[in-house]
Structure 1
Amino acid sequence: MKRILVLLAIVGTLGLTAWTLLTNKKEVEAKVYKPDANLKVGVRTAKAELRNLSQETEFLGSFSPNREAEVRPQEGGQITQLPIQEGQSVSAGRLIAKIDDEQLRLQVEGLQVTLEGYQNDLKRYENLVKGDATPAVNLERTQLSIRSTQAQIKQLQKRIANTTITAPFSGIITEKMVEKGSVIGTGSPIAKITDISSLKLVVEIPESSVNQFRVGQSLPIETEVYPDTRFTGRITMIAAQGDAAHNYPIEITVPNSGKNMLRAGMYGSIANTNKLKASTLAVPRQAILGSSKQPQIYVVENGKAVLKSVEIGATTNEYYEITKGLKVGDQVVTSGQINLQNGTPVVAQ
């Protein structure tokens, strides 16, 4: 009898446990979200269309002067004139500085007196040689002395000319390194002159893009300081050798005139448009799912999202070329794919 009661108790306990588990399962299932098969998911779409695919790349560089040089004298001495100021515009040949040449002129004056004496001796020796009154060698020595003195005078005159320092080309005095009255040596810098009548925009171009440029090519140029002004430049140099990062500098010469004056050191940029494909089927980048090896796209057909495998070709920042899997006019999903499964009802927003 006791065994029967224990057995009944165990059976009752198991039955109660089973009933409790079944009740809990029903409660859990009731709380689980079950999607409505007829509920439409809002998505954004775009049409697969024929497009001319092109990629625009912007390259940034800085302007450098057309020419820049330090003005250095070929003759030393005290500066007696210095009619320049920093920021002043000067034309080619304009006086930059004058160095004291008094000592050189006095030397020329002394040599001219010596030359005059030799010339008088030459006349006397010519008459004496004709009458055999003196050896011809005296005449020859006097002639050589005259030639030597004339050469010394020319040398001094050249040095006197070098005491007048002029601008080698038109430009702006960007630095004055001495003051009037200073004593300088041969080759000491006096001033720096910079020519910005035209500027050179130096841009680093990566290896993958350098073959898209050529010498003589005209390019539009934009600057941050004049955002509403478009400048035009011409490529004058493409480097034959790149740096360690495989970048190749190119120089673009830009005329610098008008009210919007560019200055050396400013930034400028060029945009290069590389035409990838003409009239090819393309979709926005946002429509592509998966990897580049196995791309997929949701296409809206009869109000439902249909997942299709496609093949892609050329790409830009905005579009992918579709080489297989779509046709012109297909409506592709570009936003909301996270809420979709194959066959989900959708509505375009």
Structure 2
Amino acid sequence: MKRIITVLALVALIGLTAWTLVNNKKEVEAKIYKPDADKKVGVRTAVAELRNLSQETEFLGSFSPNREIEIRPQAGGQIVALPIEEGQTVGAGRLVAKLDDEQLHYQIEALQVTLEGYQNDLKRYENLVKGDATPAVNLERTQLSIRSTQAQIKQIQKQIANTTITTPFSGIITEKMVEKGSVVSVGAPIAKVTDISILKLVVQVPEKAINQFHVGQSLPIVTEVYPDAHFTGRISMIAAQGDAAHNYPVEITVHNSTANPLRAGMYGSIANTNKLKRQTLSVPRQAIIGSAKEPQLYVIENGKAVLKSVAIGTTTNEYYEITKGVKSGDQVVISGQINLQNGTLVSAQ
């Protein structure tokens, strides 16, 4: 009797479980979205048509000075004059610093006395040699001594000239490293001169756009600090080798303006417009779906969205050139593709 009750209980439990599973399945299926095959999906469309494509690309860079140099003396010593200040505009050949050259002048004076003695000896030996009163070798030695002393005087004079330190070109004193009374050694930096009468704007151009530029080309330049001012630059250099990211430095020179003065380190940008030489079939960028290797789009045919594979040519910020897959006049979907499948009924807007 107990066995029969146990079997009946198991059968009832299994039946209850089965009923629960069937009921849950019905509830789940009721919640699943089932698209209405006859319901139209609203989409936005555009027409594939011939266009003169052009793309304006902007490249940002920063201005660097035309010339910049650290002034370093070729002589050492104490600075006795330093008539410059940071921010001062100086011309070419302007005195930057004067080193103490008193000891060098004393050496020149001593050598001149020695030279005078040799020259007097030379006159006496010339007379004595004529009368065979002294060997000719004494005359030759005196002549060599005169030449040696003259060479020493020239060396000291060069050292004296090196104690006067001047600017190699016009510019602005952007840094002063020493003060009057400082003792400097040969090659120690004294000041920095920066020439910004002409500036260089260096921008990085990617490989795909580098052939749009050439040396000597004039380009408009836009700056953040003077958004309404117009500057024109000329390409002076295009790098022969790019970096690891295949970007190539392009250098554009621009003359500084007194009305809108530029400074080294400011940002500037150039805009280059790349125009196709002919009309080309194109669609808005929003129409393209899929991957870059296998681009696709939906074309409206007889009220249905038909998925087609296409081939892409030139691209701009707004359009893709289509070289294969659609024809001029085709209506392509540009919005709402996420709700589409091949053959979906659509309502075009």
Q: The TM-score by the shorter chain falls in which range?
A: 0.7 to 0.9
Q: CA deviation at 1:194?
A: 1.0
2:300 is paired with a residue of what secondary structure?
strand
Superposed, which structure 2 residues align to 1:1-349 within 5 Å? 43-276=43-276, 278-290=278-290, 293=294, 295-299=296-300, 304=303, 306-307=305-306, 309=308, 311-314=310-313, 315-324=315-324, 326-338=326-338, 342=343, 344=345, 346=347, 348=349
Question: Deviation of residue 111 (structure 1)?
Answer: 1.4
Mapped to 1, the partners of 2:158 and 2:235 lie a distance apart of: 41
| SS of equivalent residue, structure 1 residue 261 | coil
Partner Cα separation in structure 1 for residue 258 and residue 304 of structure 2: 59
Opposite residue 243 of structure 2, the aligned amino acid is D
Q: Percent identity?
A: 74
Give unpaired runs (5+ residues) of structure 2.
1-21
Cα pair distance change 1:159/1:261, threshold 3 Å? same
Preserved contact between residue 198 and residue 256 of structure 2 (Cα < 8 Å) = yes
Q: Is the 8 A contact 2:69 2:192 kept in 1?
A: yes
Q: Is the 8 A contact 2:202 2:249 kept in 1?
A: yes
The amino acid of 1:229's aligned partner reads: A
- State the alpha-carbon separation in 1 of the partners of residues 92 and 49 from structure 2: 61
Q: Distance in 1 between matches of 2:36 and 2:56?
A: 45
Q: Is the contact made by 1:300 and 1:333 (CA closer than 8 Å) also made in structure 2?
A: no
User: Displacement of 1:42 after TM fit?
Assistant: 5.4
1:246-273 deviation digits (Å, cap 9, x = unpaired):
3332322222223222222222222333
Q: TM-score, normalised by structure 1?
A: 0.80
The residue type equivalent to 1:346 in the other structure is S
Secondary structure, counterpart of 1:273 in structure 2: strand
Compare 126-135 and 174-183 and name the one that shifted more.
Answer: 126-135
**What is the total number of aligned residue pairs between the two structures?**
319
TM-score (norm: length of structure 2): 0.80
How many angstroms apart in 1 are the aligned matches of 2:228 and 2:311?
Answer: 38
Q: How big is the alpha-carbon RMSD for the aligned residues of Structure 1 and Structure 2?
A: 3.0
Q: CA deviation at 1:34?
A: 8.5
* Deviation, structure 1 residue 33: 8.9
TM superposition shift of 1:277: 6.4
Q: Which amino acid aligns with 2:207?
A: E
For 1:347 and 1:186, how far apart are their aligned partners in 2? 81
**Residues 53 and 316, structure 1, Cα contact 8 Å, conserved in 2:** yes
SS of structure 1 residue aligned to 2:270: strand
Letter in 2 for 1:65: P
- For structure 1, the residue ranges without an aligned partner over 5 or more in a row are 1-20
Contact 1:128-1:134 at 8 Å conserved across structures: yes
**SS of residue paired to 2:152:** helix
Paired letter, 2:347: V
